[in-house]
Amino acid sequence: MPKYGILVDVSSCLGCKSCALSCKYENNVPAGVPWLKVEDEVLSVSKGVQRFSFPMGCLHCGEPSCAKVCPVGAITKETDGTVQRNPEKCVGCKYCLSACPFGQSRFDNLTQKAEKCNLCQDRQARGEAPACTVNCPVKARMAVAPDKLKEEAEKRLAQTKKLGLNYTLYNGQNVGGTQVAYLVPEGVSLKTGPQGKERSGTVGVWQDVIKPVAKAGLGGVVGAVAIAGVLNARKKEEN
């Protein structure tokens, strides 16, 4: 288990971008491929217009689609619960970009490799919380120990309820649970938000069906050709 997961409270996020700034500063994130990005959505709700801001980055899924589709094993689900990529192995095929249900794998045109949040692996190894959580002025993005996450979420939900806001916990129920969880408004569909995103049905078809069949087929043909070559050569010698 990692020391910290993250809880994002959409009801209190101001959209100030200090998390994205801290992330960029801490991780030397290349230009144009933010690991963390603050989304802004203005929606008309029953009481008028409401604005939602929230930071989006890798959610570190329990069953990550990106790791599933990566043909060279450059993305792995670690025992500490985080999803990590190995830039040395990445061949830049972009498969993970379309596989991520949340669109959080991004392509760096300079290095020709995929980029994403690593949940501040180095900081966590030193026992420090992820950089994005440190400078949040309103604790909308909080570092929370994964086993304390539900408890903290309920505490927060009770507070938002008092303000008359209906929020609910999204922690990746449909993607095997996520290390980064969100408190999201109920009955509001945020286009860039985490809820309602599903793993595509085509994820796994290549890996579990096509690749083994193709390997067996190609191997079979090569084997048949080799056998035929030997048999025919032997026949020629006999004659």
Partner 1 sequence: MSQRVQRFNKTERIAHWANALFFGLLFLSGMVLFTGGIASALGPGGVAISKLIHRIAAVPFILVVPVMMFFGTPQTTKLWLKELFSWGKEDFAWLSRFAKEFFGGQVDLPPQGRLNAGEKINSLLGIVGCGLLSISGLIMWFSNYFSASTILTAYAIHDLAAATVGAAIIGHAYLGLFHPGSKEALNGMIDGTVSEEFARAHHTNWYLEQINKHSTAK
Q: Which of 1, 14, 125, 231 binds partner 1 (CB under 8 A)?
A: 231
Q: Which residues contact 216 (CB under 8 A, 6 or more apart)?
A: none
Instruction: Yes or no: say if 24 and 168 are a contact pair by the CB < 8 Å rule.
Output: no
Q: Which of 71, 125, 145, 161 binds partner 1 (CB under 8 A)?
A: 71
CB of 100 to partner 1, least distance (A): 8
CB of 174 to partner 1, least distance (A): 16
Q: Which of 72, 125, 138, 145 binds partner 1 (CB under 8 A)?
A: 72
Nearest residue (CB) to partner 1, 45 versus 227: 227
Residues 109-128 that bind partner 1 (CB under 8 A): 112
For 132-151, give one letter per residue: b (16+ CB within 10 A) or e: bbbebeeebbbbbebeebee
CA nearest to 209, candidates 68, 104, 75: 68
Q: Which residues contact 124 (CB under 8 A, 6 or more apart)?
A: 2, 3, 4, 80, 130
Nearest residue (CB) to partner 1, 1 versus 230: 230
Check binding of 196 to partner 1 (CB under 8 A).
no
Q: Could you tell me the two tokens for 101?
A: 């249900």
Q: Which residues contact 168 (CB under 8 A, 6 or more apart)?
A: 157, 183, 184, 185, 186
Q: Which of 69, 114, 140, 180 binds partner 1 (CB under 8 A)?
A: 69
Return residues touching partner 1 (CB under 8 A): 69, 71-74, 88-89, 91-95, 97-99, 103, 112, 200-203, 205-206, 210-211, 213-215, 217-218, 220-222, 224-225, 227-229, 231-232, 234-236
